[in-house]
Amino acid sequence: MPSSSLRKHSLARVAALAGIGLMGLGLAAQQARADDLSTSPYLFGDWNGSRTSLAEKGVKLDFGYTSELAHNVSGGTQHITRYTDQWNGGATFDLDKLLSWQGAKFYFMITDRNGRNLSADANLGTDQQVAEVYGRGQTWRLTNFYLEQNLLNDNLTLQLGRMGVGGDFAAFSCDFQNLTFCGSQPGNLVGSYWANWPVSQWAITAKLKTSAQTYLSVGAYQVNPNYVNDSYNVSKGLYPNFPDGTTGALIPIEFGYMATVNGLPGSYKFGIWYNTSQTGDLVLDENRAQRALTGDTALQRDGAYGGYINFSQQVTGTNGGDGVTVFLNATQADKFTSATDHQVSLGMEYKGIPGHPRDFIGAAVGATHNNGRNADYQREYNATHPGLATVVNDGYEYATEVFYSWSPVPSISVRPNLQYIIHPGGTSQNDNAFVVGLKTSIAF
């Protein structure tokens, strides 16, 4: 897309946001009692009480918007700016209130993604995107479509329908803009079958509270390449259909411990997964010879697997309020089938900035490792196909990010950030990248 067209596209988006903001302010002024902009979690307020009334009857609405701007000051083949965004709209239906169906809820959500990917357009060569909201097809999707049932005095929760595995296993916030620090970490390594938001798969999950602080969760998610096929989802991604081509099931198991340390909350999760699908070996062909030499079909491994930890602990301040929270995420995938085989991220967030109770600061460092077996394949392929040689992704990609989250009203957050990526793609063949970003979120 020409740069002038991109600038026009970005300006149009900014103008649209400005118009939405003005509309929201106008509505807030007209509905001061129920729609106080300074206290409402929604930009358009309570719709003169209608939203609260719907919630009391069992229908809770959810509308939101997220945009991410990114400009590479250094790194890549050109210094450019790219914009990407996501709209979402849905509802939670309390079936107890609506149908006297005790302990049951139904969740529905659709999303729409648009824009361009700076990592690709500027040829940064990164393993992880510098604007996480890009990806999985710039199109409409069915993101949630599932029933939840609580049983045994709410000690057992069952879910059935279309949902994303990252919402229930290795679940993590998405405050940062670099994908290294956003969402369920296994999806950053094995995204061909572990599909995070906004992708949904047919699935069933069970979560059992084993004590007041602990739980055990297990799930089974349909593995089907069509769920992550952009061209398929352009025409069919919005429907709760059953696509052909299912290869197996993703089975994650997670143990969680909701700790309290010195009176402050923490979350400690340990998980493993197994994908029953046959998965291609990175190096060997079906005769266990070097595939880079023979060009034959990859050896099909009986399954793919991995494990993770997901820790978060508030260490200063008041319980659930102001203070410092630190986190550690680490994931290991199997060496036979995953081109990026492990990732570690460590970071913190600080809330309690004087005079700005809604603002907070975040900082994180992370490393994504490129599988040495895959690098060996790339070297062998380059040696035997000199005219088709590609960059060898070997070693670690290191990512850092700092941000300041400014929230002028509860419904809006504006989050400028700085990212620095060392050895993009795990290779010194790509220049280090310095990226300036801006992440904006609005709840309508």
Using an 8 Å Cβ cutoff, are 58 and 96 in contact? yes
pLDDT at 2: 45
Positions of E strands within 229-334:
248-261, 264-285, 298-314, 323-333
What is the pLDDT, as a whole number, of residue 390? 84
**What is the rounded distance in angstroms from the CA atom of residue 415 to the CA atom of residue 405?**
4
State residue 387's pLDDT score. 82
CATH number of 58-443: 2.40.160.180
Q: What share of the chain is helix, strand, coil (3-state, %, to 5)?
A: 20, 50, 30
Task: Return all residues near 116 (Cβ < 8 A) that are at least 6 apart.
Answer: 1, 6, 82, 83, 84, 134
- Find how far residue 99's CA is from the centre of its chain: 33
- Digitized pLDDT (tens) for each residue of the chain, 444 residues in all: 444 444 444 444 444 444 444 444 444 444 434 458 889 999 999 998 999 999 999 999 999 999 999 999 999 999 999 999 999 999 999 999 999 999 999 999 999 999 999 999 999 999 999 999 998 888 999 999 999 999 999 999 999 999 999 999 999 999 999 999 999 999 999 999 999 999 999 999 999 999 999 999 999 999 999 999 988 999 999 999 999 999 999 999 999 999 999 999 999 999 999 999 999 999 999 999 999 999 999 999 999 999 999 999 999 999 989 999 999 999 999 999 999 999 999 999 999 999 999 999 999 999 999 999 999 999 998 988 888 888 889 899 999 999 999 999 999 999 999 999 999 999 999 999 999 999 999 999
pLDDT digits (tens, 9 = 90+) for 106-119: 999 999 999 999 99
The string of pLDDT tens digits covering residues 326-361 is 999 999 999 999 999 999 999 999 999 999 999 999
Write down the pLDDT at residue 317.
95
Non-local CB neighbours of 151 within 8 Å, separated by 6+ positions:
103, 157, 158
pLDDT at 135: 86
pLDDT of residue 111: 97
Cut 0.85: pTM above it: yes
Mean pLDDT (the chain) is 92
pLDDT at 386: 84
